[in-house]
């Protein structure tokens, strides 16, 4: 019994000893430390919410402190909102009597949704401060956001509350048709560089109309959005070579999240779809990234020309071409979940001085895949009348980066001339790169092209590359993708070799 009594007394002592309250606080003395003095929220479009940004606040003292108030300097009118250690305060703007324990920290998460009219008219910056305490102990952390104006294109809302629809592949999807005489935007079939464009849903090019993208145009697609080119409609992309890394003369298609966190995340928007029967497409100096499928050709009625174009970070395909006729020069495609280039259900294709790479971490992906059949079609096979690759690079992180899917019920005509290929298993009779001169001429097999930086989608090469001066002058395109004059014999791929910056 005495033993139990002793344990009971010790328990009481420990319990009362621990009752020195950890919530007895002293007032903040203004000695808070911050993980950063200024929080820069990356550029956002007007009235589109930003990502969430973090500020960490430290109490380095030995005392538990109470901060009388944490608030935005602009108070309840601020366009910022925050949480403080998970608390939402008054409308996410004002927090009173915030406790911060000794040698501890608290997390503040910050977001914003602001209009261009809220920003400074000279630099389009929207700013505020987070204030800690008040009076003599006031401390502040600055907030800065660049607000970008844009032309917003989106489906109308029907009287019953549903969104406007257009039909793609027999299915109704949220979308609208671009107008030549919109009451707000004027001619929506001409995209200029004056302001960026933000598209919600699918923007459709009406039958028999042409949509034109002028040099320097910027188009941002919201989630599940894209561009659809209708029957006998045309797409003209008129980008030109740029002089700086800002790609000032390129036409750029990407998602509508401008924060650097989203710069290389695949699948932020859907695709550019060219319908069966669309016609007269020309694509020059387009940079397209972060889609599900980049360019989706569904049997356009005549030849598509693609020049000096880059396509990156697509969940499925960079280019998906179904029974199409494509002539392409100086194009670069990298990082696709299934194939950087898939030509399916036959067609007619010519690719010269192109770089097809695929570093998607999937053992079944390819840089280039060709097929003359398609399940569900009637008939299931269709002639691949031509697929020619001249002075190209076909490479990637997989064992085999070329896939030929032949069906003997239809023609399958192909040829690779002066190309660098990555292919590990050469026992298949379709891949006899040295002995099959009908299909392969001057093939460099499994040698390293030594791209400058694959992770950053920089596929420049220098003189140490296996692709250096290995091209056939008969196929030369005089200027590379950057507008640099090619030497003879030319390098393989889309880039003329240069010395890399040190």
Q: Which two tokens stand for residue 152?
A: 């917003």
Burial environment of residue 481 by CB neighbours within 10 A (0 to 12, 13 to 18, 19 or more) = buried
Whether pLDDT at 23 is above 80: no
Do 149 and 92 touch, CB atoms closer than 8 A?
no
277-293 burial: b if 16+ Cβ within 10 Å, else e: ebbbbebbbbbbbbbbb
Classified as helix, coil or strand, 183 is coil
Beta-carbon-side half-sphere exposure of residue 119 (alpha carbons within 13 Å): 22
Do 477 and 459 touch, CB atoms closer than 8 A?
no
Residue with tokens 């036959």: 346
How much is the pLDDT for 500? 80
d(CA 128, CA 140): 10
How much is the pLDDT for 30? 82
Return the C-alpha torsion angle 81, 82, 83, 84, nearest 10. -140
d(CA 421, CA 432): 12
Those residues whose C-beta lies under 8 Å from the C-beta of residue 77, and which sit 6 or more positions away, are none
Domain boundaries, the chain: 26-147, 151-475
For residue range 239-266, list pLDDT tens digits in order.
999 989 899 999 999 999 988 889 999 9
For residue range 454-478, list pLDDT tens digits in order.
999 999 999 999 999 999 999 999 9
Whether pLDDT at 180 is above 80: yes
Q: Is the dihedral of CA 462, 463, 464, 468 positive or negative?
A: positive
How much is the pLDDT for 502? 64
Mean pLDDT to the nearest integer, 139-158: 92
Distance of CA 152 to the CA centre of its chain: 19
User: Which long-range CB contacts under 8 A does 440-448 form with residues at least 24 apart?
Assistant: 440/415, 440/416, 441/415, 441/416, 441/417, 442/417, 442/418, 442/470, 442/472, 443/416, 443/418, 443/419, 444/419, 444/420, 444/470, 444/492, 445/420, 445/421, 446/421, 446/422, 447/420
Name the pTM for this structure. Answer: 0.86
Those residues whose C-beta lies under 8 Å from the C-beta of residue 479, and which sit 6 or more positions away, are 241, 330, 485, 486
Whether pLDDT at 20 is above 60: no
d(CA 269, CA 114): 23
Residue with tokens 């406790």: 99
- What confidence tier does 15 reach under pLDDT thresholds 50, 70, 90? very low
How much is the pLDDT for 25? 78
d(CA 32, CA 58): 6
Q: Which two tokens stand for residue 408?
A: 């003997």
Length of the chain: 502
Do 364 and 341 touch, CB atoms closer than 8 A?
no
d(CA 76, CA 102): 30
Distance of CA 153 to the CA centre of its chain: 20
Please state whether the peptide bond connecting residue 379 to the residue before it is cis, i.e. omega within 30 degrees of 0.
yes
Do 363 and 292 touch, CB atoms closer than 8 A?
no
Domain 26-147 grouped into CATH 2.60.40.10: yes
- The region that residue 93 occupies, defined by phi over 0 for left and psi between -120 and 50 for alpha, beta otherwise, is alpha
């Amino acid at each position: 019994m005495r033993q139990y009594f002793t344990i009971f007394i010790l328990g009481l002592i420990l319990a009362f000893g621990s009752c020195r309250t950890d919530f007895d606080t002293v007032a903040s003395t203004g000695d808070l430390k911050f993980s950063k003095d200024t929080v820069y929220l990356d550029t956002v479009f007007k009235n589109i919410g930003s990502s969430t940004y973090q500020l960490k606040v430290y109490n380095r003292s030995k005392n538990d402190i109470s901060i009388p108030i944490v608030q935005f300097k602009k108070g309840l009118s601020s366009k910022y909102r925050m949480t403080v250690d998970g608390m939402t305060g008054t409308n996410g703007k004002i927090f009173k009597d915030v406790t911060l324990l000794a040698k501890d920290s608290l997390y503040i998460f910050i977001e914003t949704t602001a209009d261009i009219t809220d920003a400074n008219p000279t630099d389009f910056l929207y700013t505020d401060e987070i204030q800690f305490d008040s009076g003599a102990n006031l401390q502040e952390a600055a907030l800065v956001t660049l607000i970008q104006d844009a032309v917003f294109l989106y489906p109308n809302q029907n009287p019953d509350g549903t969104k406007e629809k257009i039909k793609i592949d027999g299915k109704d999807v949220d979308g609208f048709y671009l107008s030549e005489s919109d009451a707000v935007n004027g001619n929506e079939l001409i995209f200029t560089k004056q302001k960026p464009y933000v598209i919600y849903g699918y923007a459709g090019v009406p039958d028999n109309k042409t949509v034109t993208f002028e040099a320097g145009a910027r188009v941002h697609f919201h989630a599940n959005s894209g561009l659809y080119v209708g029957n006998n409609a045309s797409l003209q992309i008129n980008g030109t070579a740029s002089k700086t890394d800002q790609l000032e003369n390129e036409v750029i298609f990407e998602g509508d999240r401008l924060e650097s966190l989203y710069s290389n995340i695949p699948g932020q928007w859907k695709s550019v779809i060219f319908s069966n029967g669309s016609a007269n497409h020309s694509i020059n100096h387009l940079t397209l990234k972060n889609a599900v499928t980049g360019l989706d050709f569904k049997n356009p009625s005549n030849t598509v020309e693609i020049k000096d174009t880059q396509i990156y970070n697509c969940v499925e395909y960079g280019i998906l071409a179904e029974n199409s006729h494509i002539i392409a020069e100086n194009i670069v495609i990298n990082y696709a979940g299934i194939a950087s280039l898939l030509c399916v259900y036959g067609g007619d294709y010519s690719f010269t001085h192109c770089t097809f790479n695929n570093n998607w971490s999937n053992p079944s992906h390819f840089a280039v895949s060709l097929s003359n059949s398609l399940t569900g079609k009637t008939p299931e096979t269709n002639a691949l009348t031509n697929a020619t690759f001249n002075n190209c690079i076909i490479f990637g992180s997989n064992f085999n980066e070329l896939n030929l899917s032949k069906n003997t019920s239809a023609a399958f005509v192909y040829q690779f001339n002066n190309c660098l290929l990555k292919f590990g298993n050469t026992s298949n009779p379709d891949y006899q790169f040295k002995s099959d001169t009908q299909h392969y001429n001057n093939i460099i097999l499994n040698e390293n092209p030594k791209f400058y930086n694959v992770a950053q989608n920089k596929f420049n090469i220098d003189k140490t590359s296996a692709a250096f001066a290995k091209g056939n002058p008969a196929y030369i395109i005089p200027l590379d993708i950057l507008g640099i004059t090619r030497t003879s014999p030319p390098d393989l791929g889309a880039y003329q070799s240069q010395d890399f910056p040190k």
